[in-house]
């Protein structure tokens, strides 16, 4: 198998276990037909399929860079689930999400990362800060770290708030060279003292071919239902070009992070 070509499995929901009432999107724990539990991210929630695209693309970028990410899968949701759910809010969500959704392997027993109890080495902190600045992830703050400790190892989760600029309209690819001002709120920024070294390391790992392979995973279905008039193929190329251009100008977001850190420490 080509090592630059990631693959995602497709599973089917057989049981809705429980909602995770965190934030406004109401993800849920479900059981699939492979007998595993997944955190299901719904296409009918919040920001729609663009949030699923961000979760998929940012998560697989993180995996290429060596981070521990729960397995990402495509999950089919049958029409029958919306009919039997007694909670009207959840029922509406299920009905709006029939078809192909996104799931992440459920890390049973994992605990939320505590930046006070679980201080990370500077290299790892710098790597996570670089990742989030690159993919424009606004959701790794002290209030919501989106990191878990599982079997004494750090796992990154919830990247649906990444690539937030793709919600801003057709001109969003032009923002590939903009700094990421929200990095000032990153929970690990004070420990991120090795950003230049990480930048050199990650630029070598994240090749254009790997970016293209990740973007190619995005289903046509998600791209045909997100308000764009461009074809799915053209939209994938827009994502690939945005990420490639952003990587080529990484010194912009790296310098923004370094300056934000100086203001903190």
Predicted pLDDT at 170: 84
Instruction: Quote the pTM value.
Output: 0.94
β-sheet bridge partners, residue 75:
11, 101
What would the mean pLDDT of 129-136 be, rounded to a whole number?
98
Could you tell me which residues come within 8 angstroms of residue 43 by beta carbon, excluding any fewer than 6 positions away? 49, 52, 96, 97, 99, 100, 101, 102, 222, 225
Tokens 């919040």 identify what position?
A: 46
Of the candidate ranges 43-47, 208-212, 253-257, the one whose mean pLDDT is the lowest: 43-47
User: What pLDDT is attached to residue 46?
Assistant: 80
| Residue of 66, 3, 53, 68 whose CA lies nearest to 243 | 53
73's enclosing H/E stretch is strand 72-77
Give residue-wise pLDDT tens across range 165-202: 999 888 898 899 999 999 999 999 999 999 999 999 99
| Confidence check: pLDDT of 138 > 80 | yes
Q: What is the pLDDT of residues 234-246, one digit of tens each?
A: 999 999 999 999 9
pLDDT at 85 over 80: no
The two structure tokens encoding residue 130: 């670089």
Quote the pLDDT of residue 183.
98
Q: Tell me the pLDDT tens digit for each residue of 8-27.
A: 999 999 998 988 866 556 79
Specify whether the CB–CB gap between 160 and 25 falls below 8 A: yes
User: What rounded mean pLDDT belongs to the chain?
Assistant: 92
């Amino acid at each position: 198998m080509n090592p630059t070509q990631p693959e995602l499995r497709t599973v089917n929901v057989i049981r809705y276990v429980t909602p995770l009432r965190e934030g406004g999107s109401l993800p849920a724990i479900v059981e699939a037909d492979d007998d595993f539990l997944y955190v299901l991210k719904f296409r009918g929630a919040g920001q729609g399929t663009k949030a699923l695209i961000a979760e998929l693309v940012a998560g697989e970028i993180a995996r290429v860079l060596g981070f521990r990410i729960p397995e990402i899968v495509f999950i089919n949701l049958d029409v029958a689930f919306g009919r039997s759910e007694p909670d009207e809010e959840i029922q509406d969500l299920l009905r709006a999400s029939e078809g192909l959704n996104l799931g992440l392997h459920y890390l049973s027993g994992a605990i939320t990362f505590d930046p006070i109890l679980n201080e990370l080495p500077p290299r790892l902190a710098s790597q996570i800060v670089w990742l989030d600045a690159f993919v424009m992830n606004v959701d790794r703050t002290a209030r919501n770290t989106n990191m878990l400790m599982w079997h004494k190892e750090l796992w990154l989760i919830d990247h649906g708030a990444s690539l937030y600029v793709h919600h801003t309209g057709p001109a969003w690819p032009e923002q590939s060279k903009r700094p990421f001002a929200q990095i000032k709120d990153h929970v690990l920024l004070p420990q991120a003292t090795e950003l230049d070294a990480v930048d050199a390391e990650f630029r070598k790992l994240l090749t254009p071919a790997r970016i293209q392979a990740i973007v190619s995973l995005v289903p046509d279905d998600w791209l045909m239902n997100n308000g764009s008039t461009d074809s799915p193929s053209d939209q994938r190329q827009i994502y690939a070009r945005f990420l490639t251009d952003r990587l080529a100008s990484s010194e912009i977001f790296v310098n923004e992070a370094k300056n934000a850190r100086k203001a903190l420490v």
